[in-house]
Amino acid sequence: MGCGTSVTGNRAKKSERAIKAAILIQSWYRCYMARLEMRRQYALSIFQSIEYAEEQAQLQLSSFFTFMLDHFTHLNGTDTGSDVQLLEYERTIEVPDSYHGPRLSFPLTVADTNSLLHAFKDQQHLHARYVLQLLHETKKVLKQMPNIIHLSTSYSKEITICGDLHGKLDDLLLIFYKNGLPSEEKPYLFNGDFVDRGKNSIEILIILFAFLLVYPNHLHLNRGNHEDHIMNLRYGFTKEVMKKYRSHGKQILNLLQDVYSWLPLATVIDSKVLIVHGGISDTTDLDFLNLFRRNKMKSVLRPPKSSTERNHDPERTDFVEYSPIIRVKRCLPGQDIDVKGMTRPSSSSHRRRYTGDLLDVGEHRWLLHDGANSGPLLEAQYLESGVHMPSVPSELTAKEWKQVADILWSDPKNQNGCTPNKFRGGGCYFGPDVTARLLKRYNLKMLIRSHECKQEGYEISHDGQVITIFSASNYYEDGSNRGAYLKLNPDLIPRFVQYQVSKCTRKQTLHQRVNVVEWSALKSLREKLYSRRSELIAAFRQYDPNDTGRISATEWASAVESVLHLDLPWRTLRSRLVQLAPDGSVEYLSCFNNLEIEPAIKEVQPGLVETLYRYRTDLEIIFNIIDKDHSGLISIDEFRQTWKLFNSHLKIDIDDESINNLARSIDFNKDGSIDFNEFLEAFHVVNKFENK
């Protein structure tokens, strides 16, 4: 009896120990997974903050890019021309016998869409003649559509809604594989941002437009903020088209501007669900959006001019204004010129001859000088009498522009109210109260939008009234996020389908995948820190008057945020970015350890290298505007003047002699030309020990 009791007691103790061990392991595992999840989330936050900062920079420079586009695209002959002219141009394009890709005939059939899908899977390109024909036919169909599309689930019983694709063809093909191809029984709505960032944007457009022509009542497209030719200059689509269709790329891009402008702005399903790309604001007016002529909005980054920006004297035609701080003056060589205040009309004019720096770009001369009331002026002196640059007044009103900008650029927030979206630089942040008011006003039930990368591919917010759907998986890095689409039935209950295009990540453990994403995010952040090295050191030293090399964690976080404005948890991130002293203070110079900007020319001054790296994307945009044949080559003089134009706008403190020396030194073969793309690629942040 006693022996039996002893055995039973031992078993109970073993069982108790096993339970405690299981609880301990479970607790450890939960903590481990929570740490991994936290690392994934802050990696995503880093990627998003850098992305939004870039978008903000693009919008802040919109007036300058508008000036460049208005001037150089006209001088370079890149006007879109009439439909008749473009059709004539298409007919001159021959398709050689050596071309083995799809051959399209219009009207398109399902066989054509299938051949396109197979060709793109095999990494073939569609010939430029067919691309232009496809775009023309697409434009015809889109012009017949209203600004806001109304759909019903009563016929097909289900509608599939996809978010941003951003040139990721593998995601689109995976969606079609899992969900089926578009058809009368399988309608789709794609909610904008088809292009940019990914390497197959043109193929995605071709596929979507082809299905639109075959099933105009069953495949639907909303415009996104990246269906914008100025955004395409920065985020890769322009470069992709010119690389794939070099001799005809300019015509394709010009025609795409018109196609973008005719894309519908919103969709309503069953009179209850509103779908827009970005979001809403407290002034969003669906009735107004449904009535104005949407093709007036060529680019959100080209807002209409206010009355104070227009010339106060309508009889004068020799001034063409482009922004509050830039304008072009038509005049003859040696002619006296009028200089008037830019933002304040003046009753008197001041005449004087040219003073300041003359810049020659191509066949045209620029004069940079400071006006008494207006800051920097750019004036163009045309050396050819036959050049005519008409002033084309924008028909777009401020209200129309704001209404479209808000639905393409806005993001939801958890707090009530509507505030400017300072992180993106465009649109607004709208709270649950703004959503509730709009839904009530139009008797709607739900708002579906895209525009933001979500870790799981979707997110539900505002008490279930707002759904974000994002369809580009691995958006920032392999393993960074899932993609998703949603299926909406007559009950209007969304059903989400998640996926992730997997190549190398499938073989990795969760820990390895998180490590890769985190490493990539921190690498991008370190590059951002290094590109602002001089400003950061100056900010750090304000807290370190004795030059000890150390400041507190709070001071370090404040200094970094004051320069980068990324709104990141810097105190949390400090252990990943800097070395900490034994007393917990930050050795602030350590955030630049082991990093350097690797220039193409070793003799370049460090300050100039840092500036070039910081503005390399903006310089590339300007160069792409000037480089009319997109050859990738730029003359030394054009490089010098490109920098001067940019410098005059941002007031960057780099002297002309430094730029001249740099321009001469990077002309490797002394032929007077620079491979500008290779030059830009050469300026990147590297680990000092990476190649050793």
457 neighbors 475 (Cβ within 8 angstroms):
no
Collapse the DSSP code of 683 into the 3-class scheme (helix H, G, I; strand E, B; otherwise coil) and give the result: coil
Spatial CA neighbour of 136 closest among 238, 201, 243, 209:
209
Collapse the DSSP code of 494 into the 3-class scheme (helix H, G, I; strand E, B; otherwise coil) and give the result: strand
**Tokens 């045309």 map to which residue?**
382
Helices (H), 532-675: 533-542, 553-564, 570-577, 606-614, 616-626, 636-650, 656-665
* Residue 595 β-bridge partners: 687
Burial (CB < 10 A; 0-12, 13-18, 19+), residue 653, is exposed
Length of the chain: 692
Spatial CA neighbour of 403 closest among 279, 262, 229, 274:
279
Collapse the DSSP code of 423 into the 3-class scheme (helix H, G, I; strand E, B; otherwise coil) and give the result: coil
Spatial CA neighbour of 652 closest among 612, 602, 621:
612
Collapse the DSSP code of 431 into the 3-class scheme (helix H, G, I; strand E, B; otherwise coil) and give the result: coil
- The H-or-E segment that residue 358 falls in is strand 357-361
* Residue 539 β-bridge partners: none
Measured CA to CA, the distance from residue 17 to residue 310 in angstroms comes to 82
DSSP 304: P
Active site positions, annotated: 226
**Tokens 């944007």 map to which residue?**
201
DSSP 262: H
- Cα dihedral across residues 590, 591, 594, 598: positive or negative: negative
Residue 28 CA, distance from chain mean position: 41
Measured CA to CA, the distance from residue 407 to residue 297 in angstroms comes to 13
Q: What are phi and psi of 512, to 5 degrees?
A: -65, -40
Residue type, 273: V
350 neighbors 339 (Cβ within 8 angstroms):
yes
